[in-house]
Amino acid sequence: MTKKHVIIENIRISLSAIRGSLLRTILTVSIIAFGIMALVGISTAIDALEKSFAENLMMMGSNTFTIKNRTMRVQMGHNSQRAKYYEPIKFRQATEFKKQYNFPATVSVYSNASWTATIKYESEKTNPNCQIIGTDENYMTTSGNEIAKGRTFSEHEVFYGSHVAIIGSEIAKGLFKNNQDPLGKIISIGAGKYKVIGVIEEKGTGMGFTPDRQILLPITNVRQYFSRPNMSFAINVMPANPQSVDAALGEATGLFRVIRQNKLAEEDDFDVTKSDQLLKMLAENTKSIKSAALIIGFITLFGAAIGLMNIMLVSVSERTREIGIRKSLGANKLTIRNQFLVEAIVVGQLGGIFGIILGILAGNLVSFFTETGFIIPWVWIVIGVVLCFMVALLSGIIPATKAAKLDPIEALRHD
């Protein structure tokens, strides 16, 4: 009999033995499955969140960095508490940076005017969840969005604060029924009337952020009609060469420190953020969660290993006479040992398969809510399979060795 036939025969005998102690096997398989499910499920969920976050960051361009106002920070020390306030970035400072920045790059200035706007067209209106952004003519380029219909703002429209608007796809669908063309239509935002000149290409929702519910207005128009105290402006910078982002960032930081009149020994009173920096921060934060999932999985699998070893030891005791018969018919120690090892491995892999399936389904619930598509974590699947194999091997080696060492005459006498 060839090795292939021996392995197949061992698997067949293992499945028969598993059916003989079905309840114990189900319990052990369940414990293994839950351990692998925790490992694969948490890892899949984290991968889904990272993918969703990355897709949202890509909306502002993979080689773009943003200069924003630094938020208030609270400093603790020597039993005292001191809050440090940072001045908002003024329109004059943002436009001065745009004029003086000589690095080969596209620069845009923008500001968030509202997150709860309601847009109207004739008898139709949106929910009060639309975001109004005041932008210049370069914003569409640096934001990573594209125009599906129409055009972006001209320099003339930005300079004079014209009453024109670029709307998101969700707003267009909500206001203009029966496939009406939104271009050229007049919409109402508060008391103002705006002519639609463009529609942003649909991107979908991820982690609550979407350009589909945005409406872009010329930044000078926003300053006039949506002004508020301490209104802060942000700057997007997209270098012409993606490889020179770090150099462009250094140049931008130095120039803006001069514009903001930061002294030599002072820290920056503004934040400069790259998309890859945020991704690295997210990856660092999720490392601990993945490590916790690994620990939980190991603890559960350790319990499963004890359960599996117990089942195998009971199986050896119950099948002592069967082992004696097999040895009397010519089976050697190696054959008996391998038979019980294969049985342990089969139980372990059954638990692994069910655990991987449950883990993928549980983890992809996050993908469903973040709309990032179905994720199959191949790396963690391989890790799960290997772990189940190792657990089964370690759990089965003692019972298998015990079975192989049984004396055939004493085994035949066993009742």
C-alpha distances in Å from residue 75, one per residue of 72, 88, 144, 273: 10, 19, 36, 22
End-to-end CA distance of the chain: 31
Token pair of 359 as six digits: 């883990």
Q: What gap in Å lies between CA 101 and CA 63, rounded to an integer?
A: 17
User: What three-state secondary structure class fits 102?
Assistant: coil
* pLDDT (tens digit per residue) in 274-304: 766 666 666 676 777 777 777 877 787 787 7
Report the pLDDT value the prediction gives residue 105, as an integer from 0 to 100. Answer: 92
- Percent above pLDDT 90 for the chain: 29
Q: What is the mean pLDDT of residues 5-34?
A: 73
What amino acid is encoded at 235 in this protein? I
Residues 6 or more apart in contact with residue 261 via CB below 8 angstroms: none
Q: Which residue's entry shows tokens 């604060």? A: 161
| Bridging pattern class, strands 80-84 and 105-117 | unpaired
Are the beta carbons of 15 and 337 closer than 8 angstroms? no
Are the beta carbons of 326 and 336 closer than 8 angstroms? yes
Domain ranges of the chain: 3-56+281-413, 87-268
The model's confidence at residue 93, banded by pLDDT at 50, 70 and 90, is very high
The model's confidence at residue 316, banded by pLDDT at 50, 70 and 90, is confident
pLDDT for 184 beyond 90: yes
Phi, psi for 280 (deg, rounded to 5): -65, -40
